[in-house]
Structure 1
Amino acid sequence: MMEYITNKGKIMLKKKFIALLLFFTVLLGLPISLTNVAAAAAPKAKNLTSVTQSVNHASPETPIIFSHRGSPYNNPDHSFSGYNRAIKDGTQYIEQDVWLSKDNKLYVSHDDNLKKSTGSNVTISKSTSAELDKVKLRNGEKLHQLKDVFNRYGKKVHYIIETKKNAGDNTDTEKALAKEIKKYNMKNNLIMQDESIPGIKIFHKSLKNVPILWLLDSVTERQYSEEIENAPRYIKFVSIRLEQWTPKLIKLAHKNGFKTNGWIINTYNDNYNALNTLKLDSVFTNNTKETAHLIDKWK
C-alpha cells in the first residue's frame, strides 16, 4: 500500500512539473517547438570527414552536398530547426549568409532587410545588435549571430559561409568573418564563399588554408570562360547557376584546377541535371534528404 502511494505521488509530481513547464512556456510567449529546439542537444553530422578530405575528394562520384540556408522548405531560412533537419537528413555542410550590422556584428540572413524572413521591416546593415537581437524568425527563434551558430553546433558539422554586402561596400564583412573564424577556432571546419574577388583576396590573405568558393556572376558562356581562366588559382570551387553550366565550362573549370558547384537544386530534374548530366562536384540543395538519397541511388 505504501509503495502504491509513493508511486502515485511520483506520478502526481511529474504531472505537476509538466503543467508548470507548459504554464511558464505560455507565460513567456515561447512556442513549445522552439523550447524543444533550444533545449535539445545539437545533432552531429553522420560520418563527418575533414573539410580538406571532402574538398579534395569532391567529384561526380562523391559530390559534396551544401544545405542551402538549412532546410528552407519546412523551416525558416538559417534557423536552428532548419540546420537540425539538414544534419539529420545527412548533410556535412550547413550554409550561412552573413551581414555586418551597424556595430560590426555578423548576423545570419540571406537578405539585408528582414521583412521577408521575419515580418519585421528592419535592415541589418542599418541596425545595432541591441535592435537586431529583438527580431524573431517566423518560428519564434531569434535572429542568430554567426557566433550563436558556432556556439550551438561547434565542430559537429561543417559550415559554408557567404559574405553578403550591398553594392559599393568595401571588404569589411570579409575582415570581420576572418576575425570571427579565428576567435572560435573554426578555420578547419568551413568553406568561405563570395562573389567579390577583392573580398576573396582580403580573406585569403588572412586565412590562407580555408577553401574558397567563388560565386560567378555573368551571362554568356564566353564571359564565364574568361572569369574561370582569370580566377586566382587558390580558389577551390567555381560556382554557377545550374541552368548556366555547360559541358564546355565544366571541362574548362577542371582544366584550370577548379572543382565545380551548381545552385540551386529544388526538384528531381535539378538533381538529375546536376548529378547525372552535368556531373558536378558539389551542389547547393534545398532538399538535403532527396539529394543525398539520389546520390546514393545513382552511385
Structure 2
Amino acid sequence: MSGFDVIGHRGDPIKAPEETFESFNTAFSEGADYVELDLHVSKDNVLVVSHDKNLERITGTSMVVSEQNFSTLSQLHQENGEPIHSLDQVFAHYKDNPKAKFLIETKKTKKGNPQNMEELLKECIDKYGMQNRVMFHSFSTKSMQNEAKLMPNIPRIFIAGTTKRVNFDILQYVTGVNLSSNIVTPDIINALHAMNKTVYVWDEMNESPSKWNTLVNMPIDGVVTNYPATGNEYRELKNQSQSEVLDQNVYYLGTKEEPIYENPYRLVKTKREVRPLDGFHITNIIKFHGNEYVQLGENSFANAEGFNSDSALKELRPYFGAKAIFRGQEQNNYLYKDPRKKNSIINRLEFNKPERILTVQKLGTQVWLKLKDGWINSKDVLIQLNPNNYLGNESEESYYDLPVGQRFKNIDLLENNLYLKPSTDQDLKRANLIRDFNSLNLIFPIKNNNNSINQI
C-alpha cells in the first residue's frame, strides 16, 4: 500500500510547546491528518489535555492534575503563553475545521483509574459531534474495553512497546495496534493485517527523523511522529510510486558496482553494494519518477537495471564481458536512452568500432545491451566473445555450454576468424562454429583435400 495516516505526536512538539493550539496548528499545516493528545481527569471531572499527570515539566509549576480543579489548572501557562487546555476547549476551538482530527490517548493507572474517563470522553465527543474525527489509543486494556462498549464505532488502537503485550484477549477489543518503531517488522505488520487489524507506529520523544528512511518501506497504516512535515513528505513520495510484488531469484549482470539504498525515495546509501554477478531474492519492484528499483531485502533497494531472472542466466552470460560491434549488417544501429521506450533514441553506434558491453538486460524475449553511450538491441549488432575470464565470467565458455539451438548466431566472425582459419596441417579447428553458420559466405578460400566440413 502507499497511503498512510500522518499523526503529529502532541502536535509538532519540535516547533511549538506540545499539545498547544500552536503545536496542533503547526502539525495540521505541515500535512498531519491527526494530532495526538493525552488526557487526564481533574479533581472536578474535567478532561485535561496533558501528557504528564504533574504539570511541572511543561509549566514550571508542580501541580498534579487529579488533585486540582480545572479552574486552578487553567491558570498555568506554557512557554508560548497558552494556558493548559481542556478537551472541551480543544473541540470548541476546532469544531468548524472538519480537517482537524484527533488521536486521543487515555492515561489511566494499572487499576483502571479514573474509572469515569471513557464516560466523560463520550459526553464531550457527543457534545461536539466529533464521532468521525477522533480515534482512541491507549496502553490501558481496561480503557480499550470501556471504549468498545460505549463507542464501538470509533477506532480503538492498543499501544504496545513489546509484542508480548499483543495477544488475542486484547485484540478482540481493538481495531488496530500501535507498535514501537523498535519492534515493528514487515512480518508483524502482515500478520496483524491478516487479522484485519490496522498497524500504526510510534516512537519516543527522542525520535530521529532518519527513521523515516526505513519506516516508509513498511506497509503501515499510520505513524505517530514528532516530525509530521517529514512524515507527510515521505508519504507524498511514496504515493507517487507504484509497487509490483515479486518473488524471484535474480542475478546482476552489470559490470559496475551499484549502491544499495535504504529506500527508493531519498536514495540514502547503505554501506553495501551490488557487485557483478551477485545473486539476490527480490520481493518488490518500485517504480518512482521514471526509475525502477528492486527490493533486495528489508530496507535494501537497488536500481533495477541489470537484474535478470535466474532462469535467463545461462542465456545471458555469453554477452557479459563480451563486446558489441556494428558492421552494417543491419539497418538499425540506434542507441536508446531507455530500452523500454522506442522514442528514446539518442545516438547511433559507430561503424566497425567494438564497444564493451556494460550491462545485459532481458526484456520479454529480447536481449538489450548497454554500451557507453546507450542501449542497443542485441539482434542489431555482432558479438565478439571474450575468451578470457572477465569479472568472474567466461563469455566464450558460456556460449559453448549452451545447446546449439540456443546459441545466438550473430557472432562477429571477422574478429573471431580464428574459428574459420585452417591450421597448418589443413585440419579445421572449431568447425562447430561453421556448422552453426551454414549459410555463411566465407571471405577466404579453404584449400584442403578432405571433406570433413561436409561430414560435420
Report the TM-score, using the length of structure 1 for normalisation: 0.74
In 2: Cα distance, 1:286 partner to 1:261 partner: 14
From 123, 141, 148, the equivalent of 1:179 is 123
In 1: Cα distance, 2:209 partner to 2:38 partner: 25
2:179 corresponds to which residue?
240
Paired residue type of 2:73: L
Cα deviations across residues 37-81 of structure 1 (Å, max 9, x unaligned)? xxxxxxxxxxxxxxxxxxxxxxx4111011110110021110111
Q: Retained in 2: the 8 A contact 1:101–1:128? A: yes
Paired residue type of 1:165: K
Pick closer, same or farther for the CA change 1:297–1:247 going to 2, 3 Å.
closer
Q: Retained in 2: the 8 A contact 1:96–1:108? A: yes
1:107 corresponds to which residue?
48
Cα deviations across residues 204-249 of structure 1 (Å, max 9, x unaligned)? 211111111111243xx4x25xx24333445222011101112332
Give the secondary structure class of the aligned counterpart of 2:135: strand
Q: Which has the higher helix share?
A: 1
1:16 corresponds to which residue?
none
Pick closer, same or farther for the CA change 1:201–1:193 going to 2, 3 Å.
same
From 17, 23, 37, the equivalent of 1:96 is 37
Task: Name stretches of at least 5 consecutive residues in structure 2 with no aligned partner.
Answer: 240-456
Is the counterpart of residue 161 in structure 1 residue 100 in structure 2? no
Is the counterpart of residue 147 in structure 1 residue 88 in structure 2? yes
Report the CA distance between 1:291 and its aligned residue.
1.1
In 1: Cα distance, 2:77 partner to 2:185 partner: 41
Q: Which has the higher strand share?
A: 2
Give the secondary structure class of the aligned counterpart of 2:75: coil
From 10, 26, 36, the equivalent of 1:85 is 26
Cα deviations across residues 58-115 of structure 1 (Å, max 9, x unaligned)? xx41110111101100211101111111111111211110100011100101110111
Pick closer, same or farther for the CA change 1:270–1:160 going to 2, 3 Å.
same
- Aligned-residue RMSD, C-alpha: 1.7
Q: Retained in 1: the 8 A contact 2:108–2:140? A: no
Report the CA distance between 1:155 and its aligned residue.
4.8
Paired residue type of 1:243: N
1:281 corresponds to which residue?
221
Give the secondary structure class of the aligned counterpart of 2:233: helix
1:114-153 equivalences in 2 (<5 Å) = 114-153=55-94
1:42 corresponds to which residue?
none
Q: Retained in 1: the 8 A contact 2:112–2:140? A: no
Paired residue type of 1:249: I
In 1: Cα distance, 2:108 partner to 2:96 partner: 27
Task: Name stretches of at least 5 consecutive residues in structure 1 with no aligned partner.
Answer: 1-59
Paired residue type of 2:61: S
Give the secondary structure class of the aligned counterpart of 1:62: coil
In 2: Cα distance, 1:259 partner to 1:228 partner: 15
In 1: Cα distance, 2:220 partner to 2:37 partner: 22
1:213 corresponds to which residue?
157
Paired residue type of 1:175: E
Paired residue type of 2:148: H
1:231 corresponds to which residue?
170
From 186, 189, 198, the equivalent of 1:259 is 198
Give the secondary structure class of the aligned counterpart of 1:213: strand
2:426 corresponds to which residue?
none
Bigger drift between 125-134 and 69-78 goes to: 125-134
Pick closer, same or farther for the CA change 1:242–1:155 going to 2, 3 Å.
farther
In 2: Cα distance, 1:106 partner to 1:274 partner: 33
**Higher radius of gyration, 1 or 2:** 2
Pick closer, same or farther for the CA change 1:93–1:155 going to 2, 3 Å.
farther
Is the counterpart of residue 74 in structure 1 residue 11 in structure 2? no
In 2: Cα distance, 1:66 partner to 1:236 partner: 17
Report the CA distance between 1:258 and its aligned residue.
0.5
Paired residue type of 1:151: A
Cα deviations across residues 109-129 of structure 1 (Å, max 9, x unaligned)? 111011111111111011111
Is the counterpart of residue 291 in structure 1 residue 231 in structure 2? yes
Q: Retained in 1: the 8 A contact 2:7–2:223? A: yes
In 2: Cα distance, 1:145 partner to 1:289 partner: 26
In 2: Cα distance, 1:212 partner to 1:285 partner: 18
Q: Which of structures 1 and 2 has the larger relative contact order (alpha carbons within 8 angstroms, sep 6+)?
A: 1
Cα deviations across residues 242-272 of structure 1 (Å, max 9, x unaligned)? 0111233212211211111111283343112
Pick closer, same or farther for the CA change 1:155–1:213 going to 2, 3 Å.
farther
Report the TM-score, using the length of structure 2 for normalisation: 0.49
In 1: Cα distance, 2:172 partner to 2:195 partner: 8
